Structure 1
Amino acid sequence: MEADRPTLVLMPGLDGSGALFAAFEKLIAGNWKYQSIRYPADLPSRVDAYAAHVERAIGAEHRVILLAESFSGPIAIRLAARLSERVKALVLCASFATRPHLLVRWASHVPQALLSGMARQRWALRWFCVGRHAPGSLLDAVEAELSRLSGNTIKRRLQMLIAPDAATTLLQLELPVLLLQPNQDRLLDPWAPRRLEKLARGARIERLDGPHFLLQAQPQACWRKIVDWLTLLSAQPAPY
């Protein structure tokens, strides 16, 4: 029964709005209890501050599954350690536990106006984020959400990624972990997902054809992988 399952907590990427989960949420609605998180622009630029915000949003929910997209990976890892046994499983999609790219430090020093402009370049969004063959509707949605971000917010969130340092915490977690890894990820350094796989010992790894914005480009394929994995977990001797 849906009421007996843990709540699936959707933690967004750099946009922080949760709006880009729209297509994915349609697949969940009526099948699984979920909560979509939004990050206010004025949150302090620290992983712990973001984790505390999600903890407040979850409230008294005593059993949760964290699904973290990209930027939210280190936040979800830290939150899983904070909430301990309340977190029954962790899903990391196109994410990382350590610095995602060598250029993050450089990007965090780019002038705010330039950052805002770069976030609206449709050719760059296609190449790095949604894939060359993404429908125009997806490109429009991503452009709209990134355009709402101020250059200051983008810069502050990028600064959080210079040294997120969730590696030790991830190694210490004792809970089921699923990694959804896009095969055509052009936004992360190739070593970032490989490093994540080594740190998440015992994790189930699913590789899917798609770009960095995997939950947006392949929502049905991602949901099938998640459901299959959760079904296996529920059949184990110590179900969630």
Structure 2
Amino acid sequence: MSLPLVLLGGTLCDGALWQPLCRHLPPQPMIIPEMSGADSAEQLAAQLLTDLPARFLLVGFSLGALVALEMQAQAAQRIAGLALLAVNPLADAPVNAAGRIALIDRAAKNGMRSVIEQLWPRYVHASRLADRELLGALVTMAERSSVERFRQQTAIALQRRDLRHTLPALQAPLLILNGDSDAICTPEHHHLLVKAAPAARHITLEQCGHFLLLEQPQACARALQTWIKRSELCVSTL
């Protein structure tokens, strides 16, 4: 039986983030946890580990990748494969705090749409900026969230730890996937991650921004399918 695939989404995202990807993956047990209920990646990781199966494959996107890194730091032996998508592994710079808090205030006063529209130019490749359907998908997800959930997710981002030093303890296949034009989690951020985990498979998608799962779901699915097969093969040979 296939191991469950645990999918951790980004800030103001929900299960809809994964739907385009899942259409291109073979049938597999999937778990999409709520990314809320804690004010730090450390707390949320511990909370998720309490509820998840003993062994699983773990995929994290953006904020979800920060929590995935924390989960492998806490329980590497439970993770049969780790995929980090669009991630900045560094601790957040203190200078970012004011801007992040201002976005929470903006959401409370003007609604989630205003937050997404402000961030939109940094979210996708320049060729997708006129894509109103994609923008609408992000707005719809955000509007299903709440200001309190946004506050919790912002606290996770602000308090995250640099956990690159923990990756050598992960005895499982590691995939690092990013867009070449991601202005939020840049190619350089991913190169830093690869330096800490040279055995990882690193794929950069061309003409792709931060929301690679929605911009290029088929390419993401191809990369993840190969990683899933490799991870399950490693488990079967133990």
* Common fold: TM-score over 0.5: yes
**Shift of residue 53 of structure 1?**
2.9
The match for 1:44 is 38
The equivalences for 1:5-20 within 5 A come to: 5-20=2-17
Q: Which has the higher contact order (CA 8 A, sep 6+)?
A: 2
Give TM-score, length-normalised by structure 1: 0.82
1:97 maps to what in 2?
89
1:66 partner amino acid: L
Check the 8 A contact 1:120/1:143 in 2, yes or no. yes
Quote the RMSD (CA, aligned, Å).
2.8
Give the percent of matched residue pairs that are identical in Structure 1 and Structure 2.
22
2:174 alignment counterpart? 177
Task: For structure 2, list consecutive stretches of 5 or more residues without a partner in the other structure.
Answer: none
SS at match of 2:229: helix
1:67 counterpart residue number: 59
How does 1:147-226 map onto structure 2 within 5 Å? 147-165=143-161, 166-189=163-186, 191-209=188-206, 210-226=208-224
Do the aligned partners of residues 85 and 150 (structure 1) sit closer, same or farther apart at CA in structure 2, a change above 3 Å counting?
same
Q: Partner of 2:31 in structure 1?
A: 35
> 2:180–2:187: 8 Å Cα contact kept in structure 1?
no
Residues matched between the structures, number: 232
Q: Which residue of 2 aligns with 1:77?
A: 69
Within 2, Cα distance between the matches of 1:184 and 1:177?
A: 22
**Superposed CA offset, 1:51-101 (max 9, x none):** 12322342xx23311000000122112212333322111000001322366
Distance (Å, rounded) in 2 between the aligned partners of 1:237 and 1:7: 13
Name the one with the larger helix percent: 2
Give me the whole-angstrom Cα distance separating, in 1, the residues matched to 2:149 and 2:170: 30
Instruction: List per-residue Cα deviations over 1:112-168 (Å, max 9, x = no partner).
Output: 332454852465444211334444322111011223334443233223223411233
Q: In the TM superposition, what whole-angstrom CA distance separates every residue of 1:167-191 from its partner, at most 9, and x where no partner exists?
A: 3333433322100011110123554
Residue 227 (structure 2) aligns with: 229
User: SS where residue 31 of structure 1 aligns?
Assistant: coil
